[in-house]
Amino acid sequence: MHMIAFALVVRRGVSINISAGSVARVIEGVDRVMVLTGARASCAAGIPDFRSPGDMYASLRPELLTASESQKHLMREDPVYVADKKMFLASQFQYREIRRPFILGTQ
C-alpha cells in the first residue's frame, strides 16, 4: 500500500491556488486519500457552521429539547453547551435534535 502525507496549512486571510492537476500528480498511485478541512470549505459546500448569523447556536431553543432543566439552563446561558463533549457523551439527544434538519437533508 502506498501512502503519502501532505499537509497544507492556510491561515485566515491568505489565499492560495492549487490546480487539480497538481493535486492529481501528488496523489497518483496512492491507495488512500484523506482530506481534512475547516469550516470555510464546509460552508462553501453548503454545510452550515455553528457561528454564522442564523446558525445552530443563534436558533437554539433549549426549552424544546429533550434535556434536564439544568442542561436547558446551561444551554440558555451558553448555547455552545449543546455541543459540549460531556453532555454529548451523557446523551446525544440534544445535539441530534438540533442537527435533525441537516441529518435529514432538509436544511
8: in domain:
no
94: in domain:
yes
Domain range for 31 is 20-104
6: in domain:
no
d(CA 80, CA 101): 18
Q: What is the pLDDT of residue 69?
A: 93
81: in domain:
yes
Q: What is the pLDDT of residue 7?
A: 58
60: in domain:
yes
7: in domain:
no
70: in domain:
yes
Q: What is the pLDDT of residue 10?
A: 59
CB 98 within 8 A of CB 66: no
Q: What is the pLDDT along the chain (107 residues), one digit of tens a residue?
A: 555 555 565 566 666 667 778 878 878 887 887 777 666 666 667 666 666 666 777 778 888 888 889 989 998 898 888 888 888 888 888 888 877 776 777 66
Q: What is the pLDDT of residue 54?
A: 66
Q: What is the pLDDT of residue 11?
A: 62
31: in domain:
yes
d(CA 77, CA 71): 10
Count: domains in the chain:
1
